[in-house]
Structure 1
Amino acid sequence: MHYQAARKRGELPPAEAGAPARPTHRLSNVNREARTADCSLCGPGAAVRIRDDKRRPAECKRNHIRRKRDREFKQEYGISREEFRRRVAEQQGLCQICRIQPTFLCVDHDHRTGMVRGLLCTQCNFALGHLRDSPALALAAAEYLRLHGGGTAGAYVTSRQGRT
């Protein structure tokens, strides 16, 4: 994205006085003959090709974007993307409650402590939220369904299993 054009369109806030127009690299081990350097923001061993126009090379930009997404994921959910992938593999891609394989899994956490409890499908995650994470409400809801012929849940879960 071209930063100045985006600012003119109102997609970005106005630049502060003295602030750089775009993010910069933190270069070390500069080799002027080979026109390469290491970027500490891109990670260890990420060689950056130095260009005359001083713009960020595409491979370095991809590394910055990936690392930013990783930081945001950790900030939002309290676990790293690697931990998320490990948990998905442990659960074999299935929701911990209904045991279906959804399109994607949600990170379920305790709203009081912020601790991650597990990975759930969207429906089960919403259900826990609507039950205010209360085991007593969940048991009351299960008893209500049992008393009023709520025996269709198995058929509904079975029909959802075809989705991946």
Structure 2
Amino acid sequence: MGAIPVISVVGTSDSGKTTLLEKLLPELKKRGYRVATIKHDVHGFDIDQPGKDTWRHAQAGSDIVVISSPTKVAMIEKLQKELSLDEIVAKIQGVDLILTEGFKRGDKPKIEVYRAGHRPELLCSPEELIAVASDTPFDIGVPCVDINDAVSLVDLIEDKYLTTRERDTTS
């Protein structure tokens, strides 16, 4: 099995990136694929709640805190510098596809979410894009799909990146 394909969903703030991912994921799952998502947050985040055990472990000096239950696992790792997308991807196994939200300056193929009125032009060049998901048509040499048409976008992803991958038949 080769490298896991990574596709970044990019766009300006409030363009609908999360909403598009919420539409792509069920369609991919319906087709039997296992999918990971990575969200880029330039502002930083905190998932540890003050006073909880994992927060207390980190406060006491743990560099990596893992919390595990019968249905999920989470790892919180203190970093000296931000990891590259490739370094994050290297930590993920057992999926057919990785979708990211953000990473617009990264070197992965992108679907740009574009809404008329948010910005006068696209953020990415056509060479970076596999598609544009938009509420207005574009003629730039890559498919332009209606912003709500998850089926067509997944068809495109499947044809270009997933046709030779094995599907999860346990879903």
Q: State the TM-score, normalized to the length of structure 1.
A: 0.20
Name whichever structure is richer in helix by fraction: 1
Structure with bigger RCO (C-alpha 8 Å, 6+ apart): 2
Q: State the TM-score, normalized to the length of structure 2.
A: 0.20
Greater Cα radius of gyration, structure 1 or 2: 1
Name whichever structure is richer in strand by fraction: 2
